Amino acid sequence: MLKKVLIANRGEIAVRIVRACAEMGIRSTAIYTEPDRYALHVKRADEAYSLGEDPLAGYLDPLRIVNLALETGCDAIHPGYGFLSENAEFARLCEQNGVTFIGPRSELIHQMGDKTQARDAMRAAGVPITPGSEGNLADIDEALALAAEIGYPVMVKATSGGGGRGIRRCDSAEELKQQYPRVISEATKAFGSAEVFMEKCIVNPRHIEVQILADSHGNVVHLYERDCSIQRRNQKLIEIAPSPQLTPEQRQYIGGLAVKAAEAVGYTNAGTVEFLLAGNEVYFMEMNTRVQVEHTISEQITGVDIVREQLRIAAGLKLSYRQQDISYRGYALQFRINAEDPKNDFLPSFGRISHYYAPGGPGVRVDTAIYTGYEIPPYYDSMCLKLVVWALTWEEAVARGKRALDDMRLHGIKTTASYYQQILQHPDFAAANFDTSFVPSHPELLNYSDKRHPSETALALASAIAAYAGW
C-alpha cells in the first residue's frame, strides 16, 4: 500500500484527498504558494511545503513538484483536477523517477488529451462519434470544405483543449471564417498548441458523462452516469446523478459504451467518458483522465469512495467492486457555488469571507476549503464550495436542494447560490425537462431579488460592529 502521498493541488479537492489518505493510514503532503499559506488544505495535511511567492508558477512546475516528492519521501503524487492533472509530461516525470502517479499512464493521458487521437481510438473501438474531421484541420479551406459536407452548425475545437475553452460554434461559412483564427489563437495561448479539429454541432443535446474505474488487472466498472446539461458557456453549474431523463435501456447502453471505451485504450484508475445525447442518438465527446469535480454525486448514489479506489488502484490492488456489486439509489445534485456575481455577467467576486455557515441535515454534503475569515484569492478558479444533496426521489432531491441552498450563509462575496434557487424553481427543471440550452434559454432567471433575509441583515450588522470594535 502507499505510505505517503504528495497532493499536487489546492482547495477543496486537496482537502478531499487528505481525508481519503487519513482514512487509509497514508500520510499526506500538501504544497502551497504564498496566497495559500493559510489555506485549509495546508492546515489539514500531515506536512506542507511552500513553492514560493508566485501564485501559479509552483503549482504548474512538474519537475519541481516531482523533486519535492522525492526529497520528502513521498512514494506517490495525486494531481487532483485542473493544474497538472492531465499533463502527460508530469505523469512521465513521475514514471521516470519511480514516483507513482495516481492516474493513468502518461501515454494514455497524451492520447486522450489529443481530441483527434481520442476520436480515432473510439472510432476503432466501435464507440459512436460525431461526424467531423479525421485528424486536425490543415487550414481554413479544409475547414470550409468539411463544414459544407457535414452541414452547419459545426464546432471548431482546440485539439488539446478542455474546460470549455478553445471552442467556437459556427452557423455559417462567414462565421467559420471569423472564428477559425480565434480558436487557433485561444488554443495557442491556453494550451500551447495551434492544432484544431471540427465536428458536427449537435444542437441542444443532453450532456451525459459516465464515471469509470479501472485497475491494472483488467477490471473495469462504471458508476452510472451524471447529467451535466445545466451549464453556461460550456461551464457546468449543476450536476445530477443519475440522469432523471434516461430510460433503463439508455442507462445500460451508455454505461456499457463507457466501459467499452476504457477497455479499448487499456485505461487504469478513475476517469470519465463524456457523451452527447440527442434523442436516442449517443455520441462520444471526450474522455477525462482524472477525477472530476462532480465525482461527489456518483459517490452519493453508489456508496463507492472514488478517491479511495484511486489510491488502491495506484498501489496495484484490484478494484473493491465488480460491476454486479454496484447499484445506485436515489438522486444526487451538486451545486458549484462560485464566487461570481450572476447579475453582473458572472463577474468573479473575490475577497474576504466575513461569515460562513455550512448547510447540513439529512442527505447534505459540503466539499470546501473555505472558512469564516478566509480570503478568496483572485488567482484561481472561482469555485469556493460544492454543495451536494441526496434523496430517494427526484422531487425530494430538488426540494432538499432548495432547503440546503437556503440554509447556507456566505457573506463578504457574491455567489451563484441565489441563481441556483431560481433554476430549481423553474417548472421545466422540476419536471426534469432540460438540455444544454436551458441556461441560455432562460435569461429571466437572473431577475431575482437581492433582498436579504432578516437573519442575514442582523448577521451583517453584528459582523460590522465586531469588526469596528476589533473583536
The residues annotated with a catalytic role in the active site are: 290
Here the cell at position 432 is 426534469
Residue with cell 472564428: 179
Bridge partners of 435, per DSSP, are: none
Rounded to whole angstroms, the Cα distance separating 41 from 39 reads: 6
Rounded to whole angstroms, the Cα distance separating 360 from 408 reads: 9
Residue with cell 493559510: 38
Residue pair 340/348 in contact (Cβ under 8 Å)? The answer is yes
| Helix (H/G/I), strand (E/B), else coil: 311 | helix
Element (H, E) at 297: helix 295-302
Residue pair 294/237 in contact (Cβ under 8 Å)? The answer is no
Q: For residue 63, count other CB atoms closer than 10 A to its CB.
A: 11
Our CA angle for 145, 146, 148, nearest 5°, is 65
Rounded to whole angstroms, the Cα distance separating 252 from 446 reads: 37
Residue pair 274/209 in contact (Cβ under 8 Å)? The answer is yes
Here the cell at position 250 is 439508455
Burial of 136 (0-12, 13-18, 19+ CB in 10 A): middle
Residue with cell 483543449: 161
Rounded to whole angstroms, the Cα distance separating 98 from 102 reads: 12
Please count the residues of the chain. 471
Residue pair 387/418 in contact (Cβ under 8 Å)? The answer is no
| Helix (H/G/I), strand (E/B), else coil: 150 | helix
Residue pair 349/365 in contact (Cβ under 8 Å)? The answer is no
Residue type, 290: R
Q: What is the DSSP letter of 451?
A: P
